[in-house]
Structure 1
């Protein structure tokens, strides 16, 4: 019932239309007894009745009227059915539109932990197939249930009006049908939950393969990926067949019992006609309306089939619909202030999936200062910078920006003051201009070119077919790693943030380009605190301070010269990257 309540909530704005459709379904279904009643009168008065000859001779106007009545009611029911279906479709499509927007907004508002737990293919399944199943349920399943129930009830009432005993004989078949349907429902529901999960896995494999097609081709792993897809496809097919075979197990029983209505009518109804208990016209009415009993019974299995699919889909949709992020963005700031750019970590401990990644981190960054972070892979560098824009929350301690705990700052304002460029660059399927101006779509073209030049991207952009209007393709396909990094750096600088976070964003560029970028970063024409993750000493050398992380702890801190003098991790990295100039390094460290 909770799922139906959820449907009703999301019908807001179309509830009147949907109620109208339900009422019209009841009216239209009730009209099904009219033509059998007219047929009964025609048979009894003009065909099989004792005074049929007289009536044909003297009451032809009534016969014509009854015939026209049957035609008129048929046309009325057809038109009513068309209008009713139109209302169902409009209501369900409008609901589908609203739910899809709500789900997308929910997904956009989730924190990073949510994306860590949920697969892209699974979310895509919820946004497409699951939502469409809900729409199908609203537009067809509920409609079919209402119409089947009303037709069944109207037929039973009319049959009781004609002859109660014959009606009871017919209804003897109803309990066995309901029992078979109930057993079928209990057996098939978990199968549709499994089927939906198999579909999600299939979509996930497909999405990952398409997104990573270059890697697949680079390693010539197409056969492996085809085999992996084939395996998931086989599992999905098997789950689909299993659910279908369950339906086929029960379908013969439902079909036989449904057809049994006609057998009972022929046997019992025929005896009643011969005994004079009912007229031939009443028997004809039973025959004309017997589908009102058999069809709902026959379709009950199909309805239950789709209802189980509906419950499997709507539960997944509601998981997203009612999910609440641990780090919520309430969009409450009306006037955003520009931060000074000070950053402070106070005894910060961070855990990821109950694994401690950072241990008691303490350091302060003054406004306008440049701090470089270096450390081995897995030392916690990216985890550390993710705490500043509050992509994740600390387990212990505090991260402060301008002296305020980031947990007390509105996310829109906090993140609006931070520019981020990561090593794993994502560019949108847009123009280069659109990607650089992503944070400020109204940015003048001259400003876009300015920041592209600062990121050493202007020259290669000018050589592209359409310059800044070149479409870069999905995720920047067609650009080299270094080109993508430079566009991402330009995008981060273009918003002129008071805090700029760069996660190894020059790893794919040559030393000459890196020097140009470092010079640009030193000469920015707006105040900016810079946090730079780097593995190259050439990048860290000009920083005001360098932090060395190891296993989530700061093991060294100081300037380039100070760390060389300590002859620790930083010194070893320097020597590895500058092999053969150890004397010069030692002399430099003693200055």
Structure 2
């Protein structure tokens, strides 16, 4: 798609927006019909008033004037009703279309690779999904359809004016080139101002999202004043962008009023002369005064609506650029079943987050059904990367990964991930009840099953002590729970789906020793019969694994059981001695 930033007449963008209107085609047609009807009704009132003055008022025809008064009242009622339905339907059409588009955007975001979120600020995505989409809604309620209506209204008014008196019409239109020039200058100036407004809104949202989420770090390090200073600068730029756009309006609208006054002055001058020469009736002059107001009002609003449309185009370009991003894992798999034992095989796997550097190099290992594999190594060795590519969060560069003798790319992504339960160190809980955080809103999981799983995990007692029990709201990120309690909830959430493969990525590193002992025995029971992968810094948690892999700079340096690796007297032995010599108390428990 051709990118034409800021152009209100970008046909490609309008065509894409129209694809979302198709489900509401009847509504759209009614909006068009009402738009045409409003344009046709616009010049009727001045025309009828002129007719009433010339034929009834100046002729002292009271019954005729009474009849015309009733006609004008009915016309006003009709215009009011048509305007009501026009406004209601255009807004409804816009919001219905944006609802579908916003759902499409969110659905697209959920399928994007994690590497996309690694470099894209969350606040920017929020701006795209909320405020940028609202500007597209304005295309319908205040933009395209209204612009078409204003243009049709102008054509109708000019047509009637030319029909009544073409000479007088040409005199009134003498200042029009000045208005067209002013409108063009305003349009170009406000375009850049609107683009700057959208940019500053995105920056503001990004800053707020990041700093509110990281408020704990800000307060821990007493950075409040420094961050307030940063916020003031961003907020000032946001203010200045809006002021600049409003400044252009404050100049343009008075200019339009001056030009319309010129037309009115020319009308009075030429009209008075024509009346004295008996070439024009007084009713015509009165109607033309009304015509000038009707003509300049849509022209004045046309520039405003044009820029609303323009702003919608800027928002549409941003939204569609997000929808056009191809940074998602192509789900080419067709298998929705087949993982029965959980056998995992890595064959010559190479992986990198960027093209410059391999994070995993020539990784080969096999985990038999029911076995537990532990992966250890220094920070940055590539341990978590193994889990990321197993879940297909990232695509591998070379080699293959098989589960139950089939390449993981043969399974559909939802099915593959449903068979792999992963518990990570950084637990994320939603602002919702404990039950919904465990089931993730799955209606097929009854509370009885949740309670049973909580009892097995040793979490039932502390949950029951909370106000409301399983209906207790944990608040955002589980703020009202301790780290150990939140971790227990994540264990229940991972295991309630009865997966074939269990992955623990530093799952107990953030809990205290008492909580770790509580869940350790539960984990041993839950891991029994399941293929399990355990990533841990604390070697005390991996000693019972059937096989241990030692990763170093993305390569497998050693592989074997705990005792076998100790006998090698290599990297694992050095890690073991280093860790337990610094923690003599723990060493006595594992030797």
TM-score between both structures, scaled by the size of structure 1: 0.91
* Structure 2 partner of 1:351: 352
In structure 2, what is the Cα distance between the partners aligned to 1:80 and 1:516? 70
1:302-330 deviations in whole A, cap 9, x for unaligned?
A: 12332221111111122233444430347
Which residue in the other structure is 2:414 paired with?
A: 412
Once residues 264 and 522 of structure 1 are traced to their aligned partners in structure 2, the CA distance between those partners, rounded to angstroms, is 94
CA positional deviation for 1:187: 3.2
Rounded Cα–Cα distance in structure 1 between residues aligned with 2:92 and 2:517? 60
CA contact (8 A) 1:181 1:301 kept: yes
Q: Return the alpha-carbon distance in structure 1 between the equivalents of residues 359 and 193 of structure 2.
A: 40
Residue in structure 2 matched with residue 448 of structure 1 by the alignment: 450
Q: Give CA-to-partner distance per residue, 1:314-347, whole Å, 9 cap, x none.
A: 11122233444430347966x5344321112222
Give the match for residue 26 of structure 1: 36
Q: Secondary structure at the match of 2:581?
A: coil
Deviates more, 1:191-200 or 1:456-465: 456-465
Question: 1:11-410, aligned counterparts within 5 Å?
Answer: 11-48=21-58, 52=59, 56=60, 59-329=61-331, 336-354=337-355, 355-410=357-412
Aligned-partner Cα distance in 2 for 1:154–1:432: 63
Structure 1 portions without partners, runs of 5+: none
* 1:350–1:395 contact (8 Å) kept in structure 2: yes
Q: Give the distance between the partners of 2:209 and 2:582, measured in 1 at CA.
A: 48
Q: Distance in 2 between matches of 1:118 and 1:396?
A: 26
Measured in 1, the distance between the counterparts of 2:519 and 2:138 equals: 55
Cα 1:330–1:122, aligned 2, differ >3 Å: closer, same or farther? farther
> Structure 1 533/272 Cα, relative in aligned 2: closer, same or farther at 3 Å?
same
Say if 2:122 and 2:209, in contact at 8 Å, map to a contact too: yes
Instruction: Confirm or deny: 8 A CA contact 1:434 1:441 kept in the other structure.
Output: no
2-structure distance, mates of 1:567, 1:338 = 38
Secondary structure of the equivalent of 1:349? strand
Q: 1:53-81 CA deviation, whole Å, 9 max, x = no partner?
A: xxx2xx43222211221122112111221
SS of 2:477's equivalent? helix
Residue 501 (structure 2) pairs with residue 499 (structure 1): yes
Q: Is the 8 A contact 2:333 2:410 kept in 1?
A: no
CA distance in structure 2 between the aligned counterparts of 1:476 and 1:396, rounded to whole angstroms: 39
C-alpha deviation, 1:446, in angstroms = 4.4
Query: Alignment length, in residue pairs?
Result: 578
CA contact (8 A) 1:370 1:529 kept: yes
What is the CA-CA distance between 1:271 and the residue it aligns to?
2.3
Counterpart contact for 1:35–1:73, Cα < 8 Å = yes
Check conservation: 1:432, 1:468, Cα contact below 8 A. Answer: yes
Q: Single out whichever of 173-182 and 502-511 deviates more from structure 2.
A: 173-182
- Please state how far the C-alpha of 1:111 moved relative to its aligned partner: 2.4
Deviates more, 1:534-543 or 1:357-366: 357-366
Counterparts of 1:180 and 1:439 in 2: how far apart (Å)?
56
Distance 1:173 1:420, change over 3 A: same
Structure 2 gaps of 5+ residues are 1-10
State the shift of 1:530 in Å: 0.5
Q: Please give the TM-score of this superposition, normalised by the length of structure 2.
A: 0.91
2-structure distance, mates of 1:284, 1:502: 83
Distance in 1, Cα, partners of 2:192 & 2:42: 37
SS of the residue aligned with 1:371?
Answer: strand
Q: Relative to structure 2, which stretch is displaced further, 383-392 or 263-272?
A: 263-272
Corresponding position of 2:15? 5
Over 3 Å counting, the alpha-carbon distance change for 1:407 and 1:527 in structure 2 is same
Mapped contact 1:371–1:532 kept (Cα < 8 A): yes
**Preserved contact between residue 348 and residue 359 of structure 1 (Cα < 8 Å):** yes
More deviation in 324-333 or 404-413? 324-333
- In the TM superposition, what whole-angstrom CA distance separates every residue of 1:74-103 from its partner, at most 9, and x where no partner exists? 121112211222222222222222222222
Distance 1:155 1:510, change over 3 A: closer
1:100–1:127 Cα contact (<8 Å) kept: yes
Aligned partner of 1:551 in structure 2 is 553
Aligned mates of 2:311, 2:583 — CA distance in 1: 70
Taking structure 1 as reference, are residues 453 and 215 closer, same or farther at Cα in structure 2, changes over 3 Å only?
farther
Supply the distance in 2 between the matched residues of 1:468 and 1:8 (Cα, whole angstroms): 46
CA distance in 1, matches of 2:330, 2:119: 17
CA–CA distance in structure 2, aligned partners of residues 501 and 146 of structure 1 = 59
CA–CA distance in structure 1, aligned partners of residues 283 and 439 of structure 2: 79
Q: Do the aligned partners of 2:439 and 2:445 also contact (CA within 8 Å) in 1? A: yes
Offset, 1:252:
4.1
Structure 1 stretch displaced more, 459-468 or 560-569: 459-468
SS at match of 2:23: coil
Checking the alignment, whether the CA contact within 8 Å between 2:260 and 2:292 is kept in structure 1 is: no
Deviations 1:85-130 (A, max 9, x none): 2222222222222222222222222222332243211121122212
SS in 2 for 1:257: helix
The 8 Å contact of residues 261 and 294 in structure 1, kept in 2 or not, is answered as no
- Residues 170 and 453 of structure 1: is their aligned pair in 2 closer, same or farther, counting only changes over 3 Å? same
> Is the alpha carbon distance of 1:284 and 1:551 closer, same or farther for their aligned partners in structure 2, counting shifts above 3 Å?
same
Tell me the equivalent position of 2:463: 461
Shift of 1:513: 3.9
CA–CA distance in 2 between the matches of 1:110 and 1:581?
Answer: 42
For the residues of structure 2 that align with 1:479 and 1:84, how far apart are their CA atoms? Answer: 52
For residues 441 and 294 of structure 1, what CA distance do their matches in structure 2 show? 59
Q: How does 1:552-571 map to 2 (within 5 A)?
A: 552-571=554-573
| Partners of 1:499 and 1:141 in 2: CA distance | 53
